[in-house]
Structures are given as C-alpha cells and as structure tokens.
C-alpha cells in the first residue's frame, strides 16, 4: 500500500497543504525546522490515531481551532480515503466519506512503521515505552489483539478502583481477576508469538544487511501465563500483595521485553549506535512481518535516517527498503543523502514547494 495524497489543514506549521506522493522511495528534504517531521507525524497519525510526539491540542496550528488530516491510500489497486478532524470537542473519523464511531474502524487501513532518531532513548529507557511500541505494532496486525487489550485495560481500571475502595471482598476481586486472566493470557500469547517471529526476522535482517556484529536476542518476560486457568491462579496467589499496595501489580500491563547483543543487555551495555541499529532492525522486522504474515506491505516512515548511520549501513539499507514496503518516506536536510529516489519533496516553512 502507499499514500498517494495527503491533505493537512491547520496541522502544526501547515495551513492548507495538499501533497501527492509516488510509490517507491520518497525523499522529503529541507532545512531544519521547516516541517519535514510534521509531515511524517501527520501520516503516522493516520496509522495509529494519535501523534507519536505530542498531545492533540499541540498539533493545531498556532491561532487555529482545529486540524484536519486526510489521505488517499492505494491498496492492491483500490483507493481508500481516510480523514481525521480534531477540535477541542473531540475527533471525527471518516473512511471513504463515511463517518466512523472510533479510530478502531480506521485502524489497519493504512499500515505503517515509523523510526525517529529520538526513539531509541525512550524505547530503551522504560518498559512502558517498549510495551506501547509493541502494542502499536500488534494493534495494526491483529484486531483480536486490539480488542483483548481494550477489554483488559477496562477490567484493569475497574480492579484498580476496587483495590482502593475500603471493604472490597476477595470474591469481588476474584471476579475481576478471572476476566483479567482471560484477556491477559491472550495478550501474552500474541506478544510471545510475535516477539519470537520478530526475533527470527531481525536476525535474518542483521545477517543480510551486516548491520551489527553478533547475535541479537529478544527476551520477553511476561507477568502471567499463556493459559487462562493457570493465569487466574497466578493472580489469586498474589492478591494479598495487591490488596496491601492497593494496585494491580501483576499482568501484561507490567510485561517487559529486553534486547541482548551477544548476551549482554543492550540497555545497560549498548552504545548509542548499537541501540539505534537494533531498534531500526526491530522496526524493519515489523515491516517484514506485515509483508510475510499479513501479505500487506506497510509504508515506512524514516525520520532523519541518514544522519544516524554510517555510509556502509546506508548502502545496505537503500537496497533493502522496497523489498518490504511499497513506499518509503525518508526525511533529510541534505538532498544528496538518498540516492536513486522516485520523488523528492522540498519543504520550506510549512509549504511543499
């Protein structure tokens, strides 16, 4: 799939901009602070229904009251139009001109994988960010996963409220734990399976691209089990501790997965370059996963990629992109950074020239 048209109205520093994109390698270039990342942010907004870097209110162009993003997607020769409007009153979602009840009805229409230079710090910095990142990928690849996650979070919120209430009995908590175990086991199963596959794909990519020396391993530490009944017993055994702390301490909302390079924890021992490399490989593995398992090539959104990697890695990457994406949008300050592109888009002060 690829984005053939994008409209930005009062989004960041864009007033009313229509951009046409070709499939293939698209170079988005311009000086610092002109709106290159804003453009990727807009496209990724249509992928995940929110910004990867700011609150909705901060995305409205200074002085305006709402923003609108619209896109035309070409998918297997068919055209899909998506629209999201945000104002202080909320968001309006449209697909093919029809208003939709929520973003979950748009999710998956445009599949995308984003890599930004700031991301490794956040990603390796906290388990919450790693979980969020994985959830964004899995929500795009599986509707069931998304639903289980939504239900799980609702039950979790209820359980947490009850744990704070004086006089809540064990029986009441039991009922919520049973539900948590039901959804939680499914979440853990999907995370376990996908991380195993992603690890295999990432290893193949690393061999092919000769990116980092050594073996990369993803170690997933689920806070529960893969089966509902044993998960429920796992939670029940820990109820005492949760009642004292008045907070749900166990379950996939506390899961973590860590990356090891030659059996050394990357978070603790990895260099900045190694962390960036592994995260980029992890993202590219997601694109391969979507292509191989779902049969849908996502759009790759790579912010300032070439300032991050040495020339050998750049060369390896250039040959790779279009195997697993129909369209890759790469931002750069120097137009000489990307060779053999299909389209170059110059951005200047919120305008596409």
- Residues flagged as binding site: 30-37
Q: Is 38 in the site for ligand ATP (CB under 6 A)?
A: yes
Q: In 3D, which of 254, 265, 220 has the Cα closest to residue 128?
A: 254
CB atoms within 10 A of CB 167: 6
Q: Is 35 in the site for ligand ATP (CB under 6 A)?
A: yes
Q: Is 276 in the site for ligand ATP (CB under 6 A)?
A: no
**Least distance from C-beta 57 to ligand ATP, angstroms?**
9
Q: Is 206 in the site for ligand ATP (CB under 6 A)?
A: no
One of 16, 18, 33, 65 touching ligand ATP (CB under 6 A) = 33
Q: What is the DSSP letter of 148?
A: H
Q: In 3D, which of 103, 72, 69 has the Cα closest to residue 87?
A: 69
Q: Is 37 in the site for ligand ATP (CB under 6 A)?
A: yes
Q: What interhelical angle do 170-209 and 143-164 show, nearest 10?
A: 140
One of 21, 26, 46, 61 touching ligand ATP (CB under 6 A) = 61
Q: Is the sign of the CA dihedral 310, 313, 319, 322 positive or negative?
A: negative
> What is the full DSSP assignment across 224-250?
S-SSHHHHHHHHHHTHHHHHHHTS---
Select from 32-40, 155-163, 168-176, 185-193 the region that touches ligand ATP (CB under 6 A). 32-40
Select from 52-60, 123-131, 225-233, 278-286 the region that touches ligand ATP (CB under 6 A). 52-60
Q: In 3D, which of 288, 344, 281, 328 has the Cα closest to residue 309?
A: 281
66 vs 343, beta carbon nearer ligand ATP: 66
Select from 33-41, 168-176, 207-215, 253-261 the region that touches ligand ATP (CB under 6 A). 33-41
Tokens of 247: 């907070």
Q: Is 13 in the site for ligand ATP (CB under 6 A)?
A: yes
60 vs 218, beta carbon nearer ligand ATP: 60
290 vs 302, beta carbon nearer ligand ATP: 302
One of 131, 333, 343, 346 touching ligand ATP (CB under 6 A) = 333
- What's the maximum distance between 2 C-alpha atoms anywhere in the chain? 68
Binding-site residue numbers for ATP are 30-37
CB atoms within 10 A of CB 34: 21
What is the C-alpha separation between 305 and 308, in angstroms, rounded? 5
Distances (CA, A) of 141 to 42, 96, 208: 20, 21, 25
12 vs 253, beta carbon nearer ligand ATP: 12
Q: Please tell me the count of residues contacting ligand ATP according to CB under 6 A.
A: 17
Q: Is 340 in the site for ligand ATP (CB under 6 A)?
A: no
Q: Kind and range of the H or E element at 264? A: strand 264-265
Q: Is 116 in the site for ligand ATP (CB under 6 A)?
A: no
What is the C-alpha separation between 104 and 138, in angstroms, rounded? 13
Q: Is the sign of the CA dihedral 156, 161, 164, 168 positive or negative?
A: negative
Q: Is 102 in the site for ligand ATP (CB under 6 A)?
A: no
Select from 56-64, 127-135, 170-178, 183-191 the region that touches ligand ATP (CB under 6 A). 56-64
One of 25, 36, 111, 283 touching ligand ATP (CB under 6 A) = 36
Positions in the binding site for ligand ATP (CB under 6 A): 12-13, 30, 32-38, 58-62, 331, 333
């Amino acid at each position: 799939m690829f984005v053939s048209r994008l409209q930005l109205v009062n989004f960041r520093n864009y007033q009313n901009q229509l951009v046409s994109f070709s499939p293939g390698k698209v170079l988005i270039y311009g000086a610092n602070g002109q709106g290159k990342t804003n453009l990727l942010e807009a496209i990724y907004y249509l992928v995940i229904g929110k910004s990867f870097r700011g609150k909705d209110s901060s995305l409205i162009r200074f002085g305006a009251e709402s923003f609108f993003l619209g896109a035309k997607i070409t998918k297997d020769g068919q055209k899909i139009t998506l629209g999201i409007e945000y104002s202080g009153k909320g968001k309006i979602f449209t697909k093919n001109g029809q208003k939709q009840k929520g973003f979950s009805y748009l999710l998956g229409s445009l599949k995308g994988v984003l890599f930004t230079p700031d991301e490794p710090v956040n990603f390796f910095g906290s388990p919450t960010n790693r979980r969020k990142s994985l959830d964004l990928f899995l929500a795009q690849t599986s509707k069931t996963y998304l639903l289980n996650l939504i239900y799980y979070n609702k039950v979790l919120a209820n359980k947490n409220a009850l744990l704070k209430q004086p006089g809540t009995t064990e029986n009441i908590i039991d009922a919520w734990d049973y539900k948590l175990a039901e959804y939680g086991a499914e979440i853990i199963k999907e995370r376990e399976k996908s991380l195993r596959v992603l690890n295999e794909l990432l290893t193949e990519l690393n061999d092919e691209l000769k990116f980092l020396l050594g073996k990369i391993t993803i170690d997933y530490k689920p806070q529960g089990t893969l089966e509902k009944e044993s998960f429920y017993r796992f939670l029940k055994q820990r109820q005492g501790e949760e009642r004292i702390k008045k907070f749900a301490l166990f379950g996939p909302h506390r899961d973590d997965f860590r990356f090891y390079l030659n059996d050394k924890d990357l978070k603790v021992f990895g260099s900045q370059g190694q962390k960036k490399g592994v995260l980029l490989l992890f993202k590219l593995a997601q694109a391969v996963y979507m292509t191989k398992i779902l049969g849908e090539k996502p759009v790759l959104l790579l912010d300032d990629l070439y300032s991050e990697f040495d020339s050998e890695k750049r060369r390896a990457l250039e040959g790779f992109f279009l195997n697993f994406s129909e369209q890759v949008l790469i931002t750069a300050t120097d137009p000489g950074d990307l060779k053999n592109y299909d389209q170059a888009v110059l951005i200047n002060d919120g305008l596409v020239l």
